[in-house]
Amino acid sequence: MERREYKYVSVMTSSTQRYEDPFAGSTGLEVWRGAEMLSRYLEANPVTGRVVELGAGTGLPGLTAAKLGARVTLTDQDPQVLELLRHNVQVNGLDVDVRRVVFGDAIDADVVLAADILYLTRQVKPLRQTLRVVDDGAECLFAHEMRRTWHRGGQDETDEVWDAFRRQCDGLTFRVLESNEQLHLFKITSS
Ligand SMILES: C[S@@+](CC[C@H](N)C(=O)[O-])C[C@H]1O[C@@H](n2cnc3c(N)ncnc32)[C@H](O)[C@@H]1O
């Protein structure tokens, strides 16, 4: 385990678990660039209300939001990641819920946080389902890295995934808050 220090929180990552294959297992035991971008945004622009982070991994953005006063639930599908999330909540001495949410599940939130959670075609429709909460008035801060093609197991996953997601989100507004090369932070709302 490796500890990484940020402005308001620190997170433990697992240096022994590196997932080269995006189709196998979780990628959530390390901190991805999108999480750092989103966390920095939250440091400068704290959010309030009920905050849910999807595919939280180490939980950096959600922990930052909690440190700055939000009521946060950190979620992920992967039991190993959930264990790490509970540990990271403890490390920071925060009162934050951790629970299993798989894309497709309904959530209740005023603000949804998401960093680097979309890279497979099969995630698109279920994720849109979970983001129905945005149609009901929540806002979503969504960090996304536009990646090159993955070639794995005879499948190609490309930023066609992103295009498919945008099509699924027809009717929602995507506003770019920040960009750094291929990495973008969007605010997604229903208005
Ligand atoms: C690339 S990691 C990003 C982790 C963290 N958000 C970050 O940016 O550092 C993707 C995360 O999404 C989670 N994830 C992937 N598919 C999911 C699904 N269908 N439902 C819930 N979580 C999922 C993975 O377990 C993993 O923690």
pLDDT at site 160: 85
Residues 83-141 have pLDDT tens digits of: 999 999 999 999 999 999 999 999 999 999 999 999 888 999 999 999 999 999 999 99
- Per the structure, the complete domain to which residue 36 belongs is given by 2-189
Contact 47, 72 (CB under 8 A): no
Ligand 1 atom having least distance to the Cα of 60: 9
Is the pLDDT reported for residue 146 higher than 90?
A: no
Bridge-based pairing of strands 150-152 and 155-157 is antiparallel
Bridge-based pairing of strands 50-54 and 71-76 is parallel
**CATH number of the domain residue 169 falls in:** 3.40.50.150
Whether residue 165 has its Cβ less than 6 Å from ligand 1: no
Q: In the chain, count H helices and then E strands.
A: 6, 11
Q: What is the pTM of this model?
A: 0.94
Ligand 1 atom having least distance to the Cα of 30: 9
- Compute the distance between CA of residue 177 and CA of residue 82 in angstroms, rounded to an integer: 29
Give ∠ CA 88-29-182 in degrees, rounded to 5.
115
Number of domains in the chain: 1
Which residues, at least 6 apart from 148, have a Cβ–Cβ distance to it below 8 Å?
Answer: 158
Whether residue 130 has its Cβ less than 6 Å from ligand 1: no
pLDDT at site 148: 67
Tokens of 41: 């945004």
Residues 3-61 have pLDDT tens digits of: 999 999 999 998 554 445 444 557 899 999 999 999 999 999 999 999 999 999 999 99
pLDDT at site 156: 54
